[in-house]
Amino acid sequence: MDECEDKLQCQTTYSKLCSDKIKCGEKAAPHRSLLRAVGITDSELKKPFIGVVNSWNEIVPGHVNLDKISTAVKHGILSNGGVPFEFNTIGICDGLAMGHEGMKYSLCSRELIADSIECMVRAHCFDALVFIPNCDKIVPGMLMAAVRLDLPSIFVSGGPMLSLENNDGSYSDLNSVFEGVGALACGKISSDELKEIESLACPSCGSCSGMFTANSMNCLCEAIGIALPGNGTILAVYSERLRLAKTAGVKIMELLRLGITAKMIVNERSIKNALATDMALGCSTNTVLHLGAIANECGFDLDLKLVNSISEKTPTLCKLAPAGRHHMQDLQKAGGVYAVMKEISKLNLLDLSLMTVTANTIGENLKGVKNCDTRIICSVDKPHSKTGGLAVLFGNLAPNGGIVKKGAVDKSMLKFSGRARVFDSEDSAYDAIISGQIKGGDVVVIRYEGPIGGPGMREMLAPTSALAGASLDKDVALITDGRFSGATRGAAIGHVSPEAAKGGPIAYIIDGDIIEIDILQNALNVKISDDELLKRKSKTLLKQSKKLTGYLKRYVRMLS
């Protein structure tokens, strides 16, 4: 076949495709030979190649259904003229990794995910991408890759888990089990009652059912515009989720034809939209960590002071678990993420001109959207709070900031002063809480759990849940240079920076120091003089970093 004729046939619909490099012309004959080996026909060689990036595996509840999501996506691609090619990434379950060495690998898996996707896409010349994440670090890892690659891209998650009603009218989730362990330890429930909670809390596949990190990030994909409406809230077990996946497959072909790439959607303005929506929803503290990494891929720095600035203007409209009794199924019934965005758009808090994967703007997408239940999504006239669900605290204990899920803190703890109880690991702090050593008025300080000191910045869901299970979450605060699960509630302040391993002030706190927390004023301080702090620095040897091997060793070497 003549090379010019061959190239013309490869480009009958699209002016230029990345996949032309491995499909068109005589030089591509070896590539075509390999493509024929996987079953590609002559007619398929003339069509766009669409990468389907799937994080399916058999051990993570949020991911066991992603094979069905992927099948639906591929049907959508095929129906609209594309050729789908599925490949996989890793995916770690934070719940299964919680409370042991495995949690050190959770956050750092985000970079592995982004890098592995980059390698696969650049090597195989895909024209566009459909991303199928669900749980915590997979969503931001894929978002980082999407921005880095800047191809037409769309996200469709596996959906949240169902939450079932208990006999007393309450609803359970994974956090109920963690808190049950704390309740058992202090004699509030029996082993049989804990087993009942354990049996009911996670009744289906899907990401854990509260406004935890996974659901937070999947909802923010809608706010950014990189996912279709319903991405964050349609339950994993609903057939509507499969229809959404098919639609995403159809839509990626439209985005390719229109030339709408990831960076046209994910950028500084859309990340500000995400932050405003985050504040209204009451999302996980981890969203700030992830939005900062995504911003870095976009080429700008996310100033933590911007978080407070947006929070001051944005009311909290939702109190989903762990902040309240409602779960993702309730948010979906009330109108979903778009109903929340519709409310805050009344206060001019969103840039409505931004493009989305619907091929329409945010403003066009919000037309006709209604808030169907003001018990779930408050109106902006009667919010839960006039300010947002997250706050960044600064002070002599956190010069570079620490983050708290303000919307999940009891009002009595918004301003709190207490005695420091200092621990150099999550494990030692958890043991002290479970054994009854922590009392009302204490501030539990967990250090050397930061990105470098941990390493890996472990989540502290076990200690905070133990406090809640022991009914101490209204009497005890917890601060750490590690981080928290989105399921954490109470006066839990994480991401304290600089971390102890880098010589941050948290390294020099001693038992009995008075720590002052003022979430309303965004302040976190230890009541000692600058001279005393300098004296302690001169006499204190920082804890030596652990001997590391493998990926953690490389991760720490490159970490900021």
Specify the 3-state DSSP secondary structure of 201. Answer: coil
- 191 catalytically annotated: no
Strand ranges (E), 8-111:
49-54, 83-88
What tokens were used for 304? 């933590």
* d(C-alpha 553, C-alpha 560), whole Å: 14
* d(C-alpha 307, C-alpha 391), whole Å: 7
Per annotation, catalytic residue among 176, 311, 485, 497: 485
Strands 391-395 and 398-404 turn out to be antiparallel
* d(C-alpha 19, C-alpha 12), whole Å: 14
**CB-facing half-sphere around the CA of 411: CA atoms within 13 A:** 2
What tokens were used for 443? 């501030």
Burial class (CB in 10 A: 0-12, 13-18, 19+), 370: exposed
Specify the 3-state DSSP secondary structure of 392. Answer: strand
- The long-range contacts involving 6-10, CB below 8 angstroms and separated by at least 24 positions, are 9/46, 10/45, 10/46
* d(C-alpha 390, C-alpha 311), whole Å: 7
What residue type is assigned to position 8 of the chain?
Answer: L
Residues with a catalytic annotation lie at: 485
